[in-house]
Structure 1
Amino acid sequence: MSLPHTYDWEKLQSFCREVFIRAGVPADRATTVAESLVQADLRGVESHGVVRTGIYLKRVEKGMMDPHAEPTFVSEHGSTALLDGSNNFGAVVGSYALDMAMERAKQYGTGVVGVKGSNHFGTGAYYAKKAIEQNLILLVMSNASQTMPPSGGIRPFIGTNPLCIGVPAGEETPFILDMATSVVARGKIIVSAQKGEEIPLGWAIDKEGNPTTDAVAALEGSVLPVGGPKGYAISMFIDILSGVLTGAGYGQYVNNMYENWDEPQNVGHFFIAVDISRFIPLELFKQRVDLYIRQIKNEPKAPGVKEILVPGEIEHRQTERLKREGIQLPLKVVDELNDIGLKYGLQLSEAAIQNAPVIESSQT
């Protein structure tokens, strides 16, 4: 059987939304989760894209996530708040937290929201873009299950805890730094393992602590912190804010969504929104950011470098291109989504771009 592998982003998002709805997820929450996944694929972060659909559904089916639970603010004090996600989808919980952080920022100048009782919340850029649309600066971070050793160790203890910073611009592309504190997000190694591809040396170690290019061995071992001790320290700091401070899991107490089928993940997040206008007029700020970006891009270039880019620019261009050309999915992801669709009476092929190349299904 041959299957398309290039999909219209809006139709793919509608397909995923409908899958979640038919799996029993309330429509508004299904919309949020599907949007989060497809936005990741559009930005080229396929490790956080629709590849996660299957594991999300499985955790709902096994009672490890509750899409009907209501995230609840357990404390609110001026510009700060603590949200209990009640074990709902991470993207749903994160969106609740973001809305509160933005609301508080507009009221008090800053909004700080800690989160406990959540799950994998997708890419930080998903939230940063929404804050930028509201002319706010956003810092958002999350902890994750153990995949990275402390510097000098070989056993996973902390997560590849991501940090994202979003800053509005005027005419230029907004600044969006969205990074894991590991050399690479573990999800990319998962994708490499699914594709049967090797990974670059320096991404990970095997379970004995030896450097490896084998993606499967890397998943059995540990990914490495970016910048060695510096990445490890930043990851630990994110864990303290997202986990220790909020009452969520931290370190070895954040459960792995692929391996632990007895307990919820209890992931923690931390959102900080800043109202620019409390410091400087918004339009003046955007003009200054634009000037800053243009000055950087006009700096002398190293040999062989055609253009100096700012954080978020590659992903912005990727998004615009894939919206025009379509999202290409790996064979294994196509097979899995196709099977999920058939289970719920949906045809993934309806989201395909006509006349796009096809691939041979592994089921033939």
Structure 2
Amino acid sequence: MPDSASDVFDIPADVLQRETARIFRGHGLLPNDADWVAEALVEADLRGIHSHGVTRVPIYTERLARGLFNPRPNVCVVRQGPSVVSVDGDNGMGAVVGRRAVAAAVDVVAETGCAAVGVRNSNHFGIAALYAEQLVAHGFIALVCSNAPPTMAPHGGRSALFGTNPLAFGVPAPGERQILADMATSIVARGKIILAQQRGEEIPLGWALDPDGRPTKDAATALNGVVLPFGGAKGSAIALLVDILAAVMTGAGFGTDLPDFYNDLDRPGNLGHFLLAIDPARFGERDRFLERLGRYINMIGDCPPAEGFERVQLPGEVEAGLRRKHLSSGVPLSQDILLGLRQAAGHADVSLEL
């Protein structure tokens, strides 16, 4: 075992996936649903997005234990038009509801060439890229976004109104390269500030404001204040668009109607998601699309790198490289995170093999 909470050691991804799924089965999820939730978390860790990885297991299981997640939801999928689908997640775990939304989109795109899927009554679904990637695997261009509880001030404000409202997109590309972007509309995902607090680390100025609206480097103070949108007014506008698409339009909660994920343990979440899937082959031959995209990718790759860069990379290449590395070497986890997993398992009388 590591000697201190700061020590890190590597867990094989398949072992971490299996044991995380066992925790969720112990908390009442059906086997397939437990696998999907575990996959969403482990995939984040594999890609180096540890703020959305298995560090979330303790709060997920606490909300399950308090009845704030429905472990066995009756997810309702209703076709509202030729290319439009509404999904009511019945307060299920976000990864479970997100999978059903992807499946609905795939069915509709196969028929019409385009699908817009709006989701309400869902919860935190992990990294948005996972759902975009699932759609890309079917050959579709994908846009996926979700709203979140208010932790970010709108541009020019000092109180929380927007969530960090992630937005992801993916495009099927020729060969081994991929185009897969996933970004919070804040300068940084709030989960990274939470990790900084857990590790006793400072955060850079410009990430957040304290409760009085002043820039701060103290992670704990930042968590009592607000994070800031990336790009000032531009990021704020995109966060607003995500709220409109994923929540205002779908019937999900938005703004200050949403409970704090970690501290408000009396109300369910009612988050919303929005998925858009397009079959590029409906605009011409698929091979022609891939050939044209391949030429464009080559142009990007041929762009001379700026100082400090070895080459120009496509969105998603860094994460794909980390995923390959961690599949080989294992997922790096601190003793604190492993302790959280064991405690969550113990609450469900599950003995972990970690």
TM-score range, shorter chain: over 0.9
Match of 2:84 in 1: 80
Whole-angstrom CA distance in 2 between matches of 1:177 and 1:343: 36
**Deviation digits for residues 230-254 of structure 1, max 9, x if unmatched?**
1001100110111110011011112
Whole-angstrom CA distance in 2 between matches of 1:304 and 1:69: 49
Whole-angstrom CA distance in 2 between matches of 1:130 and 1:337: 27
Q: Aligned letter for 1:338?
A: R
Q: What's the CA shift for 1:11? A: 0.5
| Alignment: residue pair count | 350
Q: Tell me the TM-score normalised to structure 1 length.
A: 0.93
Match of 2:110 in 1: 106
Match of 1:162 in 2: 166
Whole-angstrom CA distance in 2 between matches of 1:304 and 1:182: 25
Q: Aligned letter for 2:187?
A: V
Q: Aligned letter for 2:146?
A: S
Whether contact under 8 Å (2:2, 2:9) holds in the other structure is: no
Q: Which deviates more, 339-348 or 228-237?
A: 339-348
What does 1:1-364 correspond to in 2, within 5 Å? 2=2, 5-348=9-352, 350-351=353-354
Superposition CA RMSD, Å: 1.4
Q: Which deviates more, 27-36 or 253-262?
A: 253-262
**Deviation digits for residues 15-63 of structure 1, max 9, x if unmatched?**
0001111121111110100000000101111011101111111111001
Helix, strand or coil at the partner of 1:140: strand
Whole-angstrom CA distance in 1 between matches of 2:299 and 2:126: 32
Q: What's the CA shift for 1:261? A: 1.8
Whole-angstrom CA distance in 1 between matches of 2:89 and 2:293: 35
**Deviation digits for residues 154-203 of structure 1, max 9, x if unmatched?**
01011011100000111142111100000001011111111111111111
Q: What's the CA shift for 1:280? A: 2.4
Q: What's the CA shift for 1:69? A: 1.6
Whole-angstrom CA distance in 1 between matches of 2:351 and 2:198: 23
Q: Aligned letter for 1:214?
A: D
Q: What's the CA shift for 1:345? A: 4.9
Q: What's the CA shift for 1:74? A: 4.3
Q: Tell me the TM-score normalised to structure 2 length.
A: 0.95
**Deviation digits for residues 312-336 of structure 1, max 9, x if unmatched?**
0000001001000111112321211
Which ranges of structure 1 fall in alignment gaps of 5 or more residues?
Answer: 352-364
Whole-angstrom CA distance in 1 between matches of 2:162 and 2:318: 29
Q: Aligned letter for 1:104?
A: V
Whether contact under 8 Å (1:68, 1:88) holds in the other structure is: yes
Which ranges of structure 2 fall in alignment gaps of 5 or more residues?
Answer: none
Whole-angstrom CA distance in 1 between matches of 2:248 and 2:14: 38
Helix, strand or coil at the partner of 1:211: coil
Whole-angstrom CA distance in 1 between matches of 2:268 and 2:202: 32
Whole-angstrom CA distance in 2 between matches of 1:304 and 1:343: 48
